């Protein structure tokens, strides 16, 4: 044995730095029942009573500290839970952990003690598929009403059966019985689901001790509109692409389309022409600006109560970007512009005018951003309300699987555009923005600076597109009319969407529609951190924290 003990990070790696699945398998020992090949990574099939053992070994010994997604699905003969693990330090290193359970007794061990994020993911798996998790701290439904009958994504679910939905969760905070018990001073306060500060139909049950928040429980599912079912009914080629737009209605539609495009292109082995990649990168970043502008504008509304100035400025700048994207895609909000293998059509003619339009916006941007900084980040009222409120320590953020500006505001240097490159990002010059503040202010700063970085990317893309030779403008690869991937191919891929990492898992069954389509919304994991940020703080800071997460309920509830 050599004296130089390899550090924990080196376990499970080959000499070239790739994941060494054989070594991981021997590390896990008898818990492994078999191995599976997914297109993105290999996966271990493990015993359902050894989930915590396996995950904590992978987490502590091999450095897989990011439980990215949990997919549950039902086969003819079994239920299956897949934990998609990766590393915050290196997104390209992935491993799947597959937990099969029997049909008659679908119970496996909960992963919640190892990864906090598994809490909501497993509740969703129980809600929609019907797998139960032993040792889960709160095994309730999460998206559907408590009184719902059956599990909609399981095989024997009958959609035609009637249901009864209650209204009782909406307790009136003014009533006497809202005192939780006689000798305590705590009071239950409902925020939402209809409330201007919850950014959509989110219901937050807050327990208050005076003005301090003693406990927060986000109650979601008020816009659970069956996106996964819709995608499982649609054909790969055209029918799925309109839906990703509707997971993030903040304007980041193109980035969401990219998530589906990337996953399906990996699944069907489609190469995207370089020209289309540049257009995708440019339009995707415009989309990101659109989304961040909304986040900043709405945050001004939440924190400074400023409906007249900053909010309107944000909306005004969004109109400019929406005009550009409308010229390109034909729609203001739900673009539906990406296609498998490229984009729907070329840039609008006359191209010169279109480029000029974008350049004018990019040229004006520094001045506008300065205005935002004057109005917001150097505004004393905003600083008092955001600096050092809603603290989210990096280790806690990681345990919840936080990504996007929320993670980067806690100093986690994690951005899939750089760490697992796609599109044209790796050939362009731009930076990943991180802030070490870990507070609401840091998250706001990250968004404002990311707008600058996006502008940089767009500028370089316009340069490239202007000089692109006319005979080489292929906007779409040659894609078969009907896509039917090999049966039982599994893939999990993600992109850096505006709110965080947007991942999609697809399992094919040989037909032209997916057998299982699972969406990992960035906001879903980010929203989960809310109790960590808000508990012990003032109720007003709860609103500031919620706004700084920039959750979009379409992505949370799907």
Partner 1 sequence: MSSQDKLTDTVGADSQSTQDARMGEGADNRFNSPLRKALGSSPFILTKFDKFMNWVRGSSMFMLQFGIACCSIEMMHTYSVKHDLDRFGAGVPRASPRQADVIIIPGTIVSKFAPRMKRVYDQMPEPKFVVGMGSCTISGGPFQEGYNVIKGAEEVIPVDIHVPGCPPRPEALIYGIAKLQERVANGESAPVTVKPYELEQFGDLDRDELVEKLAGQIDHDDLVMRYNWVDSP
Angle 148-152-154 from CA coordinates, rounded to 5° = 125
Q: Is the peptide bond before 194 cis (omega within 30 degrees of 0)?
A: no
Residue 250 in contact with residue 335, Cβ under 8 Å?
no
The conformation of residue 179, written as its DSSP 8-state character, comes to B
Would you count residue 177 as binding partner 1 (CB under 8 A)?
A: no
Contact pick of 5, 76, 140, 167 for partner 1 (by CB under 8 A): 167
Stretch that binds partner 1, among 15-23, 239-247, 507-515, 542-550 (CB under 8 A): 239-247
Contact pick of 149, 378, 478, 511 for partner 1 (by CB under 8 A): 149
- Report, in Å, the least distance between residue 74 CB and partner 1: 15
Would you count residue 365 as binding partner 1 (CB under 8 A)?
A: no
- Report, in Å, the least distance between residue 306 CB and partner 1: 13
Structure token pair of residue 472: 């080489």
Rg of the chain on CA atoms, in Å? 23
- Report, in Å, the least distance between residue 473 CB and partner 1: 30
483: CB partners within 8 A, 6+ apart: 235, 236, 237, 264, 268, 340, 512
- Report, in Å, the least distance between residue 161 CB and partner 1: 8
- Report, in Å, the least distance between residue 149 CB and partner 1: 7
Would you count residue 344 as binding partner 1 (CB under 8 A)?
A: no
How many other C-beta atoms lie within 10 A of the C-beta of residue 416?
Answer: 24
Q: Which of residues 259-298 bind partner 1 (CB under 8 A)?
A: 294
Would you count residue 368 as binding partner 1 (CB under 8 A)?
A: no
- Report, in Å, the least distance between residue 551 CB and partner 1: 13
379: CB partners within 8 A, 6+ apart: 304
Contact pick of 59, 246, 292, 518 for partner 1 (by CB under 8 A): 246
- Report, in Å, the least distance between residue 287 CB and partner 1: 13
Would you count residue 174 as binding partner 1 (CB under 8 A)?
A: no
151: CB partners within 8 A, 6+ apart: 126, 127, 128, 129, 130, 157
Distance CA 310, CA 301 (A): 8
How many other C-beta atoms lie within 10 A of the C-beta of residue 188?
Answer: 19
The conformation of residue 520, written as its DSSP 8-state character, comes to E
Angle 351-281-415 from CA coordinates, rounded to 5° = 160
- Report, in Å, the least distance between residue 144 CB and partner 1: 7
Q: Report the candidate in 395, 456, 453, 461 with the shortest Cα–Cα distance to residue 424.
A: 461
Structure token pair of residue 45: 């099939």
Q: Which is nearer to partner 1, 204 or 270 (CB)?
A: 204
Distance CA 168, CA 147 (A): 11
Q: Which is nearer to partner 1, 268 or 294 (CB)?
A: 294
Q: Which is nearer to partner 1, 147 or 478 (CB)?
A: 147
- Report, in Å, the least distance between residue 84 CB and partner 1: 25
173: CB partners within 8 A, 6+ apart: 187, 188, 189, 190
Would you count residue 154 as binding partner 1 (CB under 8 A)?
A: no
- Report, in Å, the least distance between residue 196 CB and partner 1: 5
Encoded one letter per residue, x for contact with partner 1 by CB under 8 A and - for no contact, window 180-209 reads -------------xxxx--xxx--------
Angle 184-186-190 from CA coordinates, rounded to 5° = 150
Would you count residue 244 as binding partner 1 (CB under 8 A)?
A: no
Contact pick of 160, 177, 380, 472 for partner 1 (by CB under 8 A): 160
- Classify residue 161 as exposed, middle or buried by CB count within 10 Å of its CB (0-12, 13-18, 19+): exposed
Would you count residue 33 as binding partner 1 (CB under 8 A)?
A: no
- Report, in Å, the least distance between residue 155 CB and partner 1: 14
Contact pick of 105, 170, 383, 482 for partner 1 (by CB under 8 A): 170
Residue 134 in contact with residue 107, Cβ under 8 Å?
yes
Q: Which of residues 298-337 bind partner 1 (CB under 8 A)?
A: 311-312, 315-316, 318-319, 322, 332-334
Contact pick of 49, 138, 146, 370 for partner 1 (by CB under 8 A): 146
Distance CA 61, CA 296 (A): 40
Contact pick of 30, 159, 174, 472 for partner 1 (by CB under 8 A): 159
Residues lying near partner 1 in the complex (CB under 8 A) are found at: 144-147, 149, 152, 157, 159-168, 170, 193-196, 199-201, 221-227, 229-230, 233, 242-243, 246, 249-251, 294, 311-312, 315-316, 318-319, 322, 332-334, 553-554
């Amino acid at each position: 044995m050599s004296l130089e003990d390899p550090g924990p990070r080196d376990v499970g790696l080959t000499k070239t730095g790739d994941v060494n699945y054989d070594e991981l398998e021997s590390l896990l020992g008898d818990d492994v029942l078999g191995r599976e090949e997914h297109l993105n990574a290999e996966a271990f099939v493990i015993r359902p009573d050894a989930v915590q053992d396996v995950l904590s070994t992978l987490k502590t010994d091999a450095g897989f500290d990011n439980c990215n997604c949990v997919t549950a699905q039902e086969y003819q003969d079994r239920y299956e839970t897949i934990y998609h693990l990766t590393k915050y330090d290196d997104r390209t290193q992935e491993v799947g952990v597959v937990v099969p359970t029997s049909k008659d007794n679908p119970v496996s061990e909960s992963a919640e003690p190892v990864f906090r994020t598994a809490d909501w993911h497993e509740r969703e798996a129980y809600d929609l598929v019907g797998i139960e998790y032993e040792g889960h701290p709160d095994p309730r439904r999460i998206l559907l009403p408590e009184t719902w009958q059956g599990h909609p994504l399981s095989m024997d679910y009958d959609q035609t059966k009637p249901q009864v939905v209650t209204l009782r969760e909406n307790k009136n905070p003014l009533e006497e019985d809202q005192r939780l018990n006689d000798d305590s001073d705590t009071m239950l306060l409902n925020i939402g689901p209809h409330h201007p500060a919850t950014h959509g139909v989110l219901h937050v049950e807050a327990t208050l001790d005076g003005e301090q928040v003693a406990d927060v429980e986000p109650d979601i599912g008020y816009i659970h509109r069956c996106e996964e079912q819709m995608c499982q009914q649609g054909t790969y080629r055209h029918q799925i692409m309109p839906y990703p737009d509707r997971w993030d209605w903040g304007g980041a539609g193109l980035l969401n389309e990219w998530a589906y495009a990337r996953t399906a292109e990996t699944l069907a082995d489609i190469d995207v022409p370089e020209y289309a990649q540049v257009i995708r990168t440019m339009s995707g970043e415009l989309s990101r600006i659109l989304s961040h502008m909304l986040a900043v504008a709405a945050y001004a509304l939440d924190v400074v109560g400023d409906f007249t100035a900053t909010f309107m400025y944000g909306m005004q700048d969004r109109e400019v970007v929406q005009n550009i994207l409308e010229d390109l895609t034909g729609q203001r909000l739900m673009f539906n512009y990406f296609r498998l293998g490229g984009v729907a059509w070329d840039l609008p003619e006359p191209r010169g005018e279109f480029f000029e339009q974008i350049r004018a916006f990019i040229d004006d941007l520094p001045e506008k951003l300065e205005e935002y900084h004057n109005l917001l980040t150097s505004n004393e009222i905003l600083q008092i309300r955001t600096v050092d409120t809603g603290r989210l320590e990096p280790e806690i953020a990681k345990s919840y699987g936080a990504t996007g500006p929320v993670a980067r505001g806690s100093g986690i240097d994690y951005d899939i555009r750089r760490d697992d490159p796609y599109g044209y990002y790796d050939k362009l010059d731009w930076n990943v923005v991180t802030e070490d503040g870990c507070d609401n202010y840091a998250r706001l700063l990250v968004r404002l600076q990311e707008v600058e970085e996006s502008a940089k990317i767009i500028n370089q893309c316009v340069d490239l597109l202007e000089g692109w030779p006319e005979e080489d403008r292929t906007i779409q690869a040659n894609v078969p009319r009907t896509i039917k991937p090999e049966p039982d191919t599994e893939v999990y891929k993600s992109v850096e969407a505006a709110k965080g990492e947007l991942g999609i898992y697809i399992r094919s069954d040989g037909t032209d529609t997916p057998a299982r389509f699972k969406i990992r919304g960035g906001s879903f994991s980010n929203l989960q951190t809310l109790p960590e940020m808000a508990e012990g703080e003032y109720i007003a800071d709860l609103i500031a924290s919620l706004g700084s997460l920039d959750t979009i309920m379409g992505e949370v509830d799907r």
